[in-house]
Amino acid sequence: MALRQLLKRSQLAAAQAESNKHKEQRAALDERRSSLQKREADAAAALEELTAESTPEERAAVEAEVAAIEAETAALNSDEQAYEAEQARLDGIVADIEKEIKELDERSATPQKKPNEKPVERKDDKIMETRTKFFGMTNEQRGAFFARDDVKGFIGAIRTACQSRAISGGKLTIPETMLEIIRDNLGEYSKLSKFVTVRRVNGTTRQNIMGTMPEGIWMEATGALNELDLSLNQVTVDGYMVGGFIPVHNTLLDDSDLNLGAEIMRALAYAIGSGVDWAILFGTGSNMPIGIATRLAQTTKPSGWSDNAPEWKDLHTSNIKKLNIATSTGAAFFASLIEALGIAIPKYSNGRAFWVMNRKTHIKLMTKALEFNAAAALVAGMNNTMPVIGGEIVEFEDDKIADNEIIGGYGSVYLLAERGGAEITSSEHVRFLENQTLYKGYARYDGIPVFGEAFVMVNFANTDVTTTRTFPVDYANAEIGTLGVTAAAGTASGDTVLTVTGAEASGTTLKYVIGDRTVKNGDKVTGYTALTSGTTQITATAGKTITVVELDGNARAIKVGKAAAVPRA
């Protein structure tokens, strides 16, 4: 055993030396990145200095430099990815040898039992159970999970990329083993996934949905069997991404694979789980699942409703209720509320209901359920279960679900289709002040309430029910709009005034900057000045490009336009 340990320690020293030597290449890559960033800044300044009077030679020189920078950047990105992969491989070898040495040390330290020695029994001894703390795993299962080559390689690649800051354009595919664990434990991070029907599918697909179950027909024992009418419906589901960023504290990078892996998996699971929940409730159907509220609020049959899908029904009146019972108490209050919630039909479901509300609303219901029992003791008539009708009460944040509103029904007839595969992509910048590095994670889902009549929405304070929710804007997958910008001589000498057309009627602001700037949809611009169309006087030399942007309520660019300055003489 001692010789084996010496051999492994020798191999470890060699592997560590090789890994450390490879890390020395990081400095050269960083130097190339720094040089390229300086050249990019110089090229950007040169582009802004180009005017209509610039010679073709000057313009060609700048364009050639831009092309060269782009080519060198692509080559550097490729070299950095190759470096990261090799470093992850070397780190994996070191980790494997360290694990073997640890196992050898543990075995050699274990005292051997005497041949006929019997264990001493103690009456007070109790068998200790292994607690499951990490995604439902025992300590043994957890150790085996993090010992897998694909998991070690993934975590090692993340640690290497973050420590070396080689994260520009980096992308890492999450091992399928990790995804399976996240899927199996999605219920811990998604409050509603346990109530709906989740099916794993590949690509755009049609899912069979059973309608009304046929009733058997009684007959003579020797009679012929009757044909039963089987109602089988189909709904088409696609695939949309849900995701979020994952802040990983840099102290974890020097910690164990367990801590780093757990941090990443929990953050990814939370991002996916919360996104799925809101889509089940309020998804618009545009690049995301169709939510319960959206389906109930429909007043006309959607154009994409399949002929093989269940019959579309107008539910915006029957299944969306506005009650005026906020001042009622006890039996009077619950009689009206339960009657309204009872509109949800469990016909096609497994009979398990859920009712979503915020905490304030939940407490109101509990308060109204207080009553005196026969012994004149004050008792609560409900806790996390809706009285009479049954069903679990699910609390959401107070600022995301309106007060006095309840949305729910029989979740098993909501189809949540899950696509295989997900990715985690490292961010381009580091949160220096918070000492964190950001990673983006996503997964793919689609969904639809197959039978809308199984759900209901109620507001019991005589207020219209909230059927929509504002989702974060997907700037990255939309092209920036175009503004019409016309320049004219201003009031004073050297001034230009701009007239802007095509802007939104309200809720946005206009800003300008002197110079030809490239603006993408969703950009947060800096160095711009507020602009009033037809009024603001801009001092700029003749022919100088002026870039105008329109910013939405989030101060993100949604439209852009340009014009050349025409100052008054």
pLDDT at 307: 73
Does residue 247 form part of some domain? no
Does residue 284 form part of some domain? no
Q: What residue has token string 């051997």?
A: 112
Mark which of 72, 107, 142 sits at the end of a domain.
Answer: 107
Q: What residue has token string 């109204």?
A: 368
- Which residues 6+ apart lie within 8 Å of 317 measured at CB? none
Does residue 425 form part of some domain? no
Does residue 494 form part of some domain? yes
pLDDT at 170: 39
Does residue 192 form part of some domain? no
φ, ψ for residue 41, nearest 5 deg: -65, -40
What's the chain's Rg over C-alpha atoms? 32
* Nearest C-alpha neighbor of 417 from the set 233, 198, 183: 198
pLDDT at 493: 94
Tally of domains within the chain: 2
pLDDT at 522: 87
Chain centroid, CA 522 distance in Å: 18
pLDDT in tens, 447-493: 888 899 999 999 999 999 999 887 777 777 789 999 999 999 999 99
Angle among Cα 176, 178, 182 to the nearest 5 degrees reads 115
User: Between β-strands 378-380 and 370-372, what pairing exists: parallel, antiparallel or unpaired?
Assistant: antiparallel
Does residue 362 form part of some domain? no
How far apart (Å, rounded) are the C-alpha atoms in residues 82 and 417? 35
Angle at which helices 149-164 and 257-282 cross, to 10°: 90
* Nearest C-alpha neighbor of 354 from the set 386, 400, 323, 383: 386
How far apart (Å, rounded) are the C-alpha atoms in residues 527 and 511? 10
φ, ψ for residue 333, nearest 5 deg: -65, -50
Question: How many beta carbons lie within 10 A of that of residue 530, not counting itself?
Answer: 10
Q: Which parts of 118-183 are beta strand (E)?
A: 171-173
pLDDT at 252: 52
How far apart (Å, rounded) are the C-alpha atoms in residues 487 and 500? 9
Average pLDDT, the chain: 76
DSSP string, 12-52: HHHHHHHHHHHHTHHHHHHHHHHHHHHHHHHHHHHHHH--T
- Which residues 6+ apart lie within 8 Å of 353 measured at CB? 344, 346, 386, 389, 390, 391, 392, 408, 409, 410, 411
How far apart (Å, rounded) are the C-alpha atoms in residues 242 and 276? 7
SS in 3 state form for 210-279?
ECCCCCCCCCCCCCCCCCCCCCEEEEEECCEEEEEEEEEEHHHHHCCHHHHHHHHHHHHHHHHHHHHHHH
Q: Which two tokens stand for residue 28?
A: 């050269």
Does residue 120 form part of some domain? no
pLDDT at 242: 55
CATH code assigned at 516: 2.60.40
Does residue 24 form part of some domain? yes
How far apart (Å, rounded) are the C-alpha atoms in residues 34 and 96? 35
- Which residues 6+ apart lie within 8 Å of 292 measured at CB? 280, 281, 282, 407, 408, 409, 414, 449, 452, 455, 457
pLDDT at 442: 60
Helix (H) / strand (E) containing 511: strand 509-514
* Nearest C-alpha neighbor of 445 from the set 278, 305, 247, 195: 278
Mark which of 53, 80, 107 sits at the end of a domain.
Answer: 107
Averaged pLDDT in 10-residue chunks for the chain of 569 residues: 66 81 83 85 83 84 88 87 84 83 71 48 39 57 72 66 42 55 62 84 45 53 53 44 53 53 65 82 85 95 79 94 92 92 90 94 87 49 80 88 96 81 46 50 75 96 92 80 96 96 94 94 91 96 96 94 95
Angle among Cα 394, 395, 396 to the nearest 5 degrees reads 125
Domain interval for residue 44:
2-107
221-256 b/e with 16+ CB inside 10 Å = b? eeeeeeeeeeeebebbbebbbbbbebebeeebbeee
> Reduced to 3 states, what is the DSSP secondary structure of residue 454?
helix
Do 416 and 463 form a contact (C-beta atoms < 8 A)? no
